[in-house]
Amino acid sequence: MAMSRAAAATGAVTRRRLGATAARSMASWFGHVEPAAKDPILGVTEAFLADPSPDKVNVGVGAYRDDNGKPVVLDCVREAERRITGNMNMEYLPMGGSIKMIEESLKLAYGEDSQFIKDKRIAAVQALSGTGACRLFADFQKRFLPDSHIYIPTPTWANHHNIWRDAQVPQRTFTYYHPESRGLDFSGLMDDIKNAPDGSFFLLHACAHNPTGVDPSEEQWREISHQFKVKNHFPFFDMAYQGFASGDPERDAKAIRIFLEDGHQIGCAQSYAKNMGLYGQRAGCLSILCDDEMQAVAVKSQLQQIARPMYSNPPVHGALIVSTILGDPELKTLWLKEVKGMADRIIGMRKALKQNLEKLGSPMSWEHITNQIGMFCYSGMTPEQVDRLTNEFHIYMTRNGRISMAGVTTGNVAYLANAIHECHAVII
């Protein structure tokens, strides 16, 4: 709104009276703002894009690429878009998002015939992809259980720390990975579950743990679930890779189903970034299983109230794509085939990377490359070795040694293996 002339004049007088010092500080409102640290994952993409080398390889961000290294739009998504075009309006979605998309998401996570869905016991809202779902939950946790903590696995997706930090929920960590075996530290994990105060919140990766690619076995999940019951802990599942672990979304929901069978109340963050390739559409869902329908209505209304001043309501296009695909048996079948295709290509690249390293005469064991699952291989390389890979070979990856297998292709796998061999295998 334009300022009246009188008000502008008063402002000018006030500024003169404040004197030179105040004027200087007014001129630099943000002079004290230091540049933020680079994001450990998305910062890698920025560095990759800035590198002019024709040899460069990006195995940083967990984003699927085809065998030519190109981003993929799934056929089911293209078909859904074709059906949507000209058929939609641009109205706001409700604060909680698309009801249809939420219904379909719940079926994926909780099971097609879930009694919890029938009993309307699940409070769920469409979220800004997996990140937004986690953030909404963290804010909800802070608001309604202000004294609670969140237990986060070591290691985890770096952004988990930021999300719960910004929601002002204090964090603790629990043991997860066993560096020597490059597998799960199951006894350490169980000890930490037992030693946490009763009724603690735990963040669990539902499948395809990021960054390690190491998941508990079904039997181990059962033991974890049992111990959660004994301790009355709350499991919050981040499910960003449903379908990417085994190639089958139903199988990848197994951990959640075990917890449900055991009578836990759970929270779940779902993302369609990876499994539908909808990265930039920000399509996801947050759900919380409640005691009964009345509680679910209350919880949902509170989640909406958290969303309203933050972004008001979620975007419509990605939600429509999701509900169109999952709501149509033919498109859903196509989607399942395409998810499996992506998972299989990654599994193939794991084998190829391992074989290439062995062919080079690497004396080390590379079994973990094929034992680990999902998008990532947690290579065991040190930050210094990763720096060498980047500086000498133009290979971009996170400094924790994580390789996004989704960025490995028939064309770059030999180059990658050779560089790893140079920087890693011979040093240790």
Residue among 48, 57, 58, 61 that touches ligand KET (CB under 6 A): 61
Residue with tokens 């089911």: 76
Look up residue 155 and give its DSSP letter. Answer: S
Give the whole-angstrom CA distance, residue 269 versus residue 131.
Answer: 8
Using CB under 6 A as the binding rule, whether residue 97 contacts ligand KET is answered as: no
Closest C-alpha to 425, from 350, 372, 366: 366
Using CB under 6 A as the binding rule, whether residue 129 contacts ligand KET is answered as: yes
Q: Max alpha carbon distance in the chain (Å)? A: 82
What residue spans of 28-128 are helical by DSSP H?
Answer: 42-50, 75-84, 99-110, 115-118
Closest C-alpha to 302, from 96, 98, 156, 122: 96
Residue among 48, 110, 137, 157 that touches ligand KET (CB under 6 A): 157
Question: Would you please indicate which residues are annotated as catalytic (active-site) residues?
Answer: 157, 238, 274
C-beta closer to ligand KET: residue 281 or 304: 281
C-beta closer to ligand KET: residue 205 or 345: 205
Residue among 123, 136, 152, 273 that touches ligand KET (CB under 6 A): 273
Long-range contacts of 279-283 (CB under 8 A, 24+ apart): 279/63, 279/129, 281/129, 281/315, 281/317, 281/318, 281/321, 282/128, 282/129, 282/132, 282/314, 282/315, 282/318, 283/101, 283/126, 283/129, 283/315, 283/318, 283/319, 283/321, 283/322
CB of residue 376 vs ligand KET: minimum separation in angstroms?
8
- Options 13-21, 65-73, 128-136, 414-422: segment touching ligand KET (CB under 6 A): 128-136
Residue among 98, 131, 212, 324 that touches ligand KET (CB under 6 A): 131
Residue among 79, 139, 192, 238 that touches ligand KET (CB under 6 A): 238
Using CB under 6 A as the binding rule, whether residue 62 contacts ligand KET is answered as: yes
# of chain residues touching ligand KET (CB under 6 A): 16
Residue among 141, 210, 356, 385 that touches ligand KET (CB under 6 A): 210
CB count within 10 Å of CB 113 equals: 8
CB of residue 302 vs ligand KET: minimum separation in angstroms?
22
Using CB under 6 A as the binding rule, whether residue 240 contacts ligand KET is answered as: yes
- Options 8-16, 177-185, 271-279, 297-305: segment touching ligand KET (CB under 6 A): 271-279
Using CB under 6 A as the binding rule, whether residue 214 contacts ligand KET is answered as: no
Using CB under 6 A as the binding rule, whether residue 379 contacts ligand KET is answered as: no
CA dihedral 13, 15, 20, 23 (to 10 degrees): -160
Question: What does the binding site for ligand KET look like in residue numbers (CB under 6 A)?
Answer: 41, 61-62, 129-131, 157, 159, 205, 210, 238, 240, 271, 273, 279, 284
